[in-house]
Amino acid sequence: MLNIIRERLHQGYRTLNYPFVLPTVSLRFAGLPSLTPTSCTDCRSRACLAACPTGALRATADGPELDMGRCLFCRACEQACPEQKIAFTSEHRLAAFTREALIVRGPAGDINRPGVRPARGTQKRDLSMFSRSLKLREVSAGGCMACEADVNVLGTLVYDLGRFGIEYAASPRHADGILVTGPVTENMKKALLDTWEAVPEPKIVIAVGICAISGGTFRGSRECCGGVESVLPAGSVDVYVPGCPPNPWTILDGILSAAWKKRMLRQN
């Protein structure tokens, strides 16, 4: 018993004061893309387009354009671009309120400022009623369990999701909304719809991972529906959290964007 107490004292306080202290991410982590807004018309190799396995990258007259809702963050395009116009930063805050806001067309800008940073784009509706507490029902709609594992890790002491007043509900009837992972397979289509309908109004929907956003690598498969928006009513998704899988800090940032705490805003 004394050894346990001694070890606990040695470990100290492990919960990060997020979002006012930025987390330390791995050097291998690929975060927010930064694109040089110059013409790609003179580039004949188009090696970056060929390297992208999901078609997330497009070459336009104004330069490269990258859809984070389809991007694996594999860095293949970064390595293939002969003019080094594509780079992935260490910025973990990738969430967006709209699908269009996931499309990156320029440089990342200031990525080192800690504190409150709302998700990209404009909220579709007022979510202030969830500012004090938020209960989510998690739905794994045919995922590979990578996104699910990173969602579950938010309950550990480093992230401590509960301190924000956010919890997972055992029943959709007791939830304020749903958090969906996976490409929504045909076998999970009805289950997702039933869960969404069981959540009382008003409710929110958070799509976590590129599979839930666009179908990911399973896009076009006859066994998958192609993401949450292909099943739920149009405009039902409130927050998109890209990644394959998203970093736990990215997921936490996305959930907080849906239920931003007035107390945190006052602190900032």
pLDDT score recorded for residue 11: 65
CA distances from 172 to 10, 133, 152, 260 (A): 40, 16, 17, 21
CA–CA dist 258, 5 (Å, integer): 38
Q: Across the strands, what pairs with 35?
A: 86
Indicate the residue type of 85. K
The pLDDT of residue 27 is: 87
Quote the Cα angle for 122-124-130, to 5°: 100
Classify domain 33-104 by CATH number: 3.30.70.3270
Sign of the CA dihedral running 93, 95, 96, 101: positive
The reported pTM is: 0.89
pLDDT at 268: 46
3-class SS of residue 50:
helix
Q: What phi and psi values does residue 92 have, to the nearest 5 degrees? A: -90, -15
Task: Give the CA angle between residues 123, 105, 261 to the nearest 5°.
Answer: 30
Give the separation between CA 7 and CA 39, rounded to whole angstroms. 57
Measure the CA–CA gap between 116 and 20, rounded to whole angstroms. 7
State the Cα–Cα distance between residues 225 and 16, nearest whole angstrom.
38
Closest-CA residue to 73 (of 226, 238, 247, 224): 247
| Extents of the domains making up the chain | 33-104, 128-267
Query: Do 141 and 212 contact (CB within 8 A), yes or no?
Result: yes
Cα–Cα distance for residue pair 134/166, rounded to 1 Å: 5
Q: Which residues contact 217 (CB under 8 A, 6 or more apart)?
A: 53, 54, 72, 211, 244
51's tokens:
């390297």
Dihedral of alpha carbons 158, 159, 162, 168, sign: negative
Class of the CATH-defined domain 128-267: alpha beta
Tell me the C-alpha to C-alpha distance, in Å, between residue 189 and each of 102, 148, 195.
Answer: 24, 18, 10
Strand partners, 166: 134
Tens-of-pLDDT digits for all 268 residues of the chain?
788 777 666 766 678 888 888 898 888 999 999 998 777 766 766 788 889 999 999 888 777 889 999 999 999 999 988 888 899 999 999 999 999 999 998 887 665 555 556 678 888 877 777 777 899 999 999 999 999 999 999 999 899 999 888 999 999 999 999 999 999 999 999 999 999 999 999 999 999 999 999 999 898 888 999 899 999 998 999 999 999 999 999 999 999 988 775 444 444 4
